């Protein structure tokens, strides 16, 4: 099961999880980080590194955050605003760099 980054990461993006990810599958949007479920190898090194506890296995995401499971997949499988093609398996976040946009869910998310 891949890991998912939920709402607590929005507008925080500490990036500690990126340093711990052994496969470089955590990508940077504008307001939030996203784990590519097709690239995640389910090691879990990212979860304890998150200072806001935003990361969990997809099957353990709290009920009020379940929308982030599907949203994480859509970030990679559907074209993002300003892009013609989906990111797909981009081959590593460090090679691609910051994406600079978010999914519709995150872009519309009200800051707390």
- 110 within domain boundaries: no
- 33 within domain boundaries: yes
User: Which pLDDT does position 42 carry in this prediction?
Assistant: 84
Question: How many CB atoms sit inside 10 A of residue 73's CB?
Answer: 19
Q: What is the pLDDT of residues 61-88, one digit of tens each?
A: 999 999 999 999 999 999 999 999 999 9
The reply to whether the predicted model has a pTM over 0.85 is: yes
Task: Provide the residue range defining the domain that includes 10.
Answer: 3-103
Question: How many CB atoms sit inside 10 A of residue 82's CB?
Answer: 8
How far apart are the C-alpha atoms of 58 and 18, rounded to whole Å?
Answer: 18
Q: What is the pLDDT of residues 3-15, one digit of tens each?
A: 999 999 999 999 9
User: Which pLDDT does position 112 carry in this prediction?
Assistant: 57
How far apart are the C-alpha atoms of 31 and 54, rounded to whole Å?
Answer: 13
Number of domains comprising the chain? 1
Reported residue count of the chain is 112
Identify the residue with better confidence: 55 or 43.
55
């Amino acid at each position: 099961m891949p890991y998912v980054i939920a709402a607590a990461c929005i507008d925080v993006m500490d990036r500690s999880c990126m340093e711990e990810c052994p496969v470089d599958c955590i990508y940077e949007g504008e307001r939030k980080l996203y784990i590519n479920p097709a690239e995640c190898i389910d090691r879990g090194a990212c979860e304890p590194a998150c200072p806001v506890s935003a990361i969990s296995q997809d099957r353990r995401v709290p009920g009020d955050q379940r929308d982030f499971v599907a949203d994480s997949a859509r970030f990679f499988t559907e074209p993002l605003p300003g892009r013609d093609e989906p990111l797909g398996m981009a081959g590593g976040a460090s090679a691609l760099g910051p994406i600079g946009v978010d999914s519709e869910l995150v872009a519309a998310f009200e800051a707390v």
